[in-house]
Structure 1
């Protein structure tokens, strides 16, 4: 190719009396739709993975002798999937007949709102997951004859057969997870969708530069 797509885009914008030349706008439309479709596919795959993990986790915790903990984590994961599916459906409300710039901006606004709402939920989700994940450890300490005898004879104040200071440490960690839940979630999201977000930001920056 004698000219890069970027140069063709820029020349098309400069030579056109309209804000966006039809051919250039079509290229941007295809690119924006491709990026957002990729996000939708990744979101769907992520939901399937969480669903599989939820059922496997249920069986694993039952095998460890803590089915209640498995049930709690299962319900948390299923609830997260249900919210994600419900939220994904709202993507259909974005008008696909908008210009590339407005379409991307609308998607970015949807994304910001979705992340903001998820942060509120994840502040409780992560600590509850953490506390539920500790139940097999508590069960193992109580079920083990040697460990249980050592704990009882340790002289520590006990709650449900576990030293009180261990409960306090677990509670402090849970509180810290709650406090930093937003940052943990953002890190988690960018770990999965970071490449898509980067391409989305680059595309939006190109459109804004050409508009100016």
Structure 2
């Protein structure tokens, strides 16, 4: 009796050295390679973008007269870059000799772990970047003779020449960024990698459906 499609799939797909369904194996091996290559290219581009933004921030804030802010933001971005490189190197721990399904599942697990670890860091990154970006505004308000005089004569309670309510609003926003930092990072990741992750999940689901 001829074997069913499910049996052929199970033997040909789950067992990477089987010869019953070589075309099916080759198809998914190629699809796996394509989607992993796309994700790795996107990751390399993201790393390049982080370095570019860090460098541009250093130059921009130096031009605005607050080089210490530029250095601080540069260090933050380079810290994120270093963590991303550290996580990327752990890809080598995934056994490349596994069949396509097991490799994709392992890679998917690696991606989720990397996102989870990065989320913990980015909760601090977003509010710190936000507060640092306000420094040039504060510098401009305090250094400008007209604005400085206007603020001094406004009747508002001031802390270091800035209205107290402005400090309160800034810190409240920073706290909210910390609280929702994980969700902000998820949105950021989906914006950059969303389409590739979706293809990865669809492909895994397709393989599981064929197996079952």
- Determine if the alignment matches structure 1 residue 158 to structure 2 residue 163: no
Give the aligned partner of residue 174 of structure 2.
174
How well do the aligned residues superpose, as a CA RMSD in angstroms?
Answer: 1.4
Counterpart of 1:18 (choices 5, 11, 20) is 11
Q: Determine helix, strand or coil for the equivalent of 2:98.
A: coil
C-alpha distance in structure 2 between counterparts of 1:125 and 1:15, whole Å: 50
C-alpha distance in structure 1 between counterparts of 2:51 and 2:204, whole Å: 33
C-alpha distance in structure 1 between counterparts of 2:5 and 2:137, whole Å: 64
Measured after TM superposition, the shift of residue 25 of structure 1 is 1.7
Give the aligned partner of residue 18 of structure 2.
none
C-alpha distance in structure 1 between counterparts of 2:45 and 2:12, whole Å: 37
Give the aligned partner of residue 41 of structure 1.
41
Give the aligned partner of residue 75 of structure 2.
75
Is the CA contact (8 Å cut-off) linking 2:9 and 2:210 kept in structure 1? no
Comparing 156-165 with 17-26, which one deviates more in the overlay? 17-26
Q: Determine helix, strand or coil for the equivalent of 1:18.
A: helix
Measured after TM superposition, the shift of residue 19 of structure 1 is 5.1
C-alpha distance in structure 1 between counterparts of 2:25 and 2:174, whole Å: 49
C-alpha distance in structure 2 between counterparts of 1:75 and 1:151, whole Å: 32
Give the unaligned 5+ runs of structure 2. 14-20
Is the CA contact (8 Å cut-off) linking 1:123 and 1:182 kept in structure 2? yes
Would you say how many aligned residue pairs link Structure 1 and Structure 2? Answer: 202
Is the CA contact (8 Å cut-off) linking 1:12 and 1:24 kept in structure 2? no
Measured after TM superposition, the shift of residue 152 of structure 1 is 0.6
Measured after TM superposition, the shift of residue 23 of structure 1 is 2.3
C-alpha distance in structure 1 between counterparts of 2:142 and 2:126, whole Å: 25
Comparing 104-113 with 15-24, which one deviates more in the overlay? 15-24
C-alpha distance in structure 1 between counterparts of 2:97 and 2:91, whole Å: 14
- Determine if the alignment matches structure 1 residue 126 to structure 2 residue 126: yes
Is the CA contact (8 Å cut-off) linking 2:12 and 2:24 kept in structure 1? no
Is the CA contact (8 Å cut-off) linking 2:119 and 2:185 kept in structure 1? yes
